[in-house]
Amino acid sequence: MRTRILPVAGALAAGSALLLAGCSGGADAASSDDDVIRFATLPLAEDPNAETPIDEITALLEEETGMTVEVTDVPNYSAVIEAVRAGHEDIGIMSAFPSALAVNTGEVDSLVAWPGLDEPVSSCLVLDESPLTSLEDITADTTIAFADPNSSSGYYMPTYMLNEVGLQADEGDFQELMSGGHDRSFLALQEGQADVACTSTIFTAMAGQGNPMFPFEEGETRSIGDSIDMPISMSVLGSQHMSDAKRDALVEAIPKVFSDENRDALGMYMDGMPEGVEPIVEPTQQDFQGVVDIAEVAGVDISDLG
């Protein structure tokens, strides 16, 4: 039986602030029901018509594990980390930087991670009629939209890219807008609230498809800069409060569920997982070290958050 739980209230989001400050208090472990997998998810878009393949993920996880899956929508990356850390949820899917942050607290494990590809993961987009032609054209009056302060492709990688050409928000080199999501960054660009939207390269291929995640036709936007590649692309975080039996079942099932054969069924949830790449089962902190090094450029010393 599949159960979908209503979105978590603000308590989780408030609690996540403690994690990001490097502080973590005691928390009650999750219920001892070993036949239920609690899965914290993020909404992919604000548009209610956007297709989020939760039912497909749930069905595949249940088939592979023989357990019931309960899905809880949480508001942001930080809330996913805190929910898993505290044992309120068993697993959550995260991009590289929030995964590295969580793993380096020593209170959250990465069950499975996917290496990145040797290609850019982020791009800074402008409207086609924009006078900006490169990152060097950005000035103190330029407003750049980022998805979330814990987003890999929507903040950390673009921040690293901008820093490489000498641009830093805290030095007043540009105005920073945290939109709250990739789709919101595009809306800010579309409506003139931002001059640049820095986001994942996966979205530009959606141009002209009527996808609510990328509301532009082909030729309406162009890139003024692409990031470097990333050593880790995605990770499934696991709670340290769950039983060994549940953990073992998930470690075995996750690579089967999030596999190339299920790519079409899982849609957006597979876009961040490179095709044809074998996942890393139970990765170590060292596997995330390259991510930590890039994060330091963005002003976050992940290694000190343990």
Hey, what domains does the chain have and what are their CATH numbers? 3-115+231-304 (3.40.190.10), 122-226 (3.40.190.10)
Cα–Cα distance between 13 and 284 in angstroms, integer?
27
pLDDT computed for residue 194 by the predictor: 98
pLDDT band at 248 (very low <50, low <70, confident <90, very high): very high
Percent of the residues in the chain that have a pLDDT greater than 90, as a whole number: 57
Q: What is the mean pLDDT of the chain?
A: 84
pTM for this prediction: 0.70
pLDDT computed for residue 142 by the predictor: 98
Given the structure tokens 């060097």, which residue do they identify?
136
The answer on pLDDT for 165 being more than 60 is yes
pLDDT band at 166 (very low <50, low <70, confident <90, very high): very high
Sign of CA dihedral 159, 165, 167, 168: positive
Q: Maximum CA pair distance of the chain?
A: 58
The answer on pLDDT for 172 being more than 90 is yes
User: What would the pLDDT profile of 29-61 be if each residue is shown by its tens digit?
Assistant: 444 477 999 999 876 554 444 556 889 999 999
pLDDT computed for residue 219 by the predictor: 96
pLDDT band at 77 (very low <50, low <70, confident <90, very high): confident
Q: What angle do CA 272, 273, 276 make, to 5 degrees?
A: 140
pLDDT computed for residue 296 by the predictor: 80
The answer on pLDDT for 223 being more than 60 is yes
Section 173-182 average pLDDT? 96
Given the structure tokens 């302060």, which residue do they identify?
149
Cα-based distances in Å from 117 to 69, 76, 123, 277: 31, 25, 15, 8
The answer on pLDDT for 17 being more than 50 is no
CB 246 within 8 A of CB 67: yes
pLDDT computed for residue 29 by the predictor: 43
The answer on pLDDT for 270 being more than 60 is yes
The answer on pLDDT for 216 being more than 50 is yes
Sheet holding 122-127, edge to edge: 175-178, 143-146, 196-200, 122-127, 221-226
Section 128-138 average pLDDT? 98
pLDDT computed for residue 276 by the predictor: 85
The answer on pLDDT for 230 being more than 90 is no
Lowest mean pLDDT segment, chosen from 39-48, 54-63, 269-278, 284-293: 39-48
